Amino acid sequence: MTTAAGPEATTATGDPTTYWTRLDSPLGPLLLTADGTGALTSLSLPGQKGGRTVRDGRRHDPGPFRAAEEQLEAYFAGELKEFTLPLRTHGTAFRERVWAALDDVPYGTTTTYGEIAARIGASRAAVRAVGGAIGANPLLVVRPCHRVIGADGTLTGYAGGLDAKVRLLTLEGVL
């Protein structure tokens, strides 16, 4: 998975356009946004806490999302275990470290908030901050925050809802 940090990018020609599209999925219609370079900037589930919305000035165009659509279809069919899409997120340095650690959680496995904290070199006291960063992940499904569970093995919060988390973990063979 390719990731670049920074605000929504412009292309070499200075194109600040943000593109969006909706894709059908087993979780309902997904809202995807991409920057002017075509890098995926968000993927939101229906009813997602803090999910993106279509704003004025954004351009509806499914063209920049062809690879995302193909990979998401293959993922939901159980045929894809790792996304290889250009991604561009914008968060604090701490959030970017947490999100990069999420990218390293393999398909079909789970990890805990404490394990993510340890991976980024944060103290055990930072577990709440790690949870906040995971909850702010703008790229649900492709950045696998659904693979993070409580230290006692419970399925804790998921911005897309616990039902969606259960469906994703079931798809991956964890449940």
Catalytic sites, residue numbers:
145
**Alpha helices, DSSP H, located in 36-140:** 66-76, 93-103, 113-119, 127-135
Count the alpha carbons within 13 Å of 107 in the hemisphere toward its beta carbon: 13
How far is residue 104's CA from residue 143's CA, in Å, rounded to a whole number? Answer: 9
Residue 43 near residue 31, CB atoms below 8 Å:
yes
**b or e along 38-52 (b: 16 or more beta carbons within 10 Å of the residue's beta carbon)?**
bbbbbbbbeebeebb
